[in-house]
Amino acid sequence: MILPRTLRTTLLLAATGLAVGSCISPPEYPDTPEIEFKRITQERITDATGTYDKVVIIVAYKDGDGDLGLRSTDTSPPFNVTKPDNTLNPDGYNYICRLQVRDAGGNFQDIVFSPNDPGYDGRYPRLTPDDQGDRKAPLKGDIDYTLQLFKNSVLRTGTVLRFKIKIKDRALHVSNEVVTDALTLQP
């Protein structure tokens, strides 16, 4: 049987596309996540909760097996936020965000919160596409993490601060640490 020219061309292009597509292999990243600081933004907000600085930290991530993020229902061990004795479970948070404040000498000092205060640590949502299921596959993208900084005894107008960031995957592998650019709290 002889096919019309346009159908032959379409079939040839489809076959070529399949052949080329099967030759492309996914990128190879380590199973421990890697992050890179991209940017930090700051905006002064006044709303029903008060006046605060809205800060958004953007980091790029790469992960070889794609097990990044937690669902809101991921509350069983090891992802429970508190341990049975009601102390803070450090594995309950997958976004580790440490505040640093510049001192009078120009050096940045870590601000240490009480043992049961997560500070600015938090959870970022599951990044694995739902259609992927539990199948391992590399992931690459950006995480935008939003904070509300209210003034207090540490955070005053003119305070210069920055953050040290790490992320965890569901296997509890911890990424490298990145440091954000510094910003100054607005009046």
DSSP state of 153: S
User: 133: which 2 tokens?
Assistant: 């299921």
Give the fold, CATH level 3, of 26-184: Immunoglobulin-like (2.60.40)
List, for residues 138-153, the tens digit of each pLDDT value. 999 999 999 999 988 8
Q: Tell me the three-class secondary structure of 43-103, residue by residue.
A: EEEEECCEEEEEEEEEEEEEECCCCECECCCCCCCCCCCECCCCCECHHHCCEEEEEEEEC
Rounded to an integer, what distance in angstroms lies between the CA atom of residue 181 and that of residue 157?
A: 18
Reported for 85-90, long-range contacts at CB under 8 A and 24+ positions apart, including other chains, are: 86/116, 87/115, 87/116, 88/115, 88/116, 88/117, 88/118
Q: How many CB atoms lie within 10 A of CB 49?
A: 9
| Cross-strand pairs, 63 | 139
pLDDT value of position 133: 65
Q: At 66, list the tokens.
A: 């794609």
Kindly state the tokens that stand for 147: 């904070």
pLDDT at 13: 41
Which of 50, 68, 60 lies closest to 170 in space, CA to CA?
A: 68
- pTM of the full structure: 0.82
Residue ranges in the chain whose pLDDT is less than 50: 1-21
The per-residue pLDDT for 21 is 47
Q: Residue 20 has what pLDDT?
A: 46
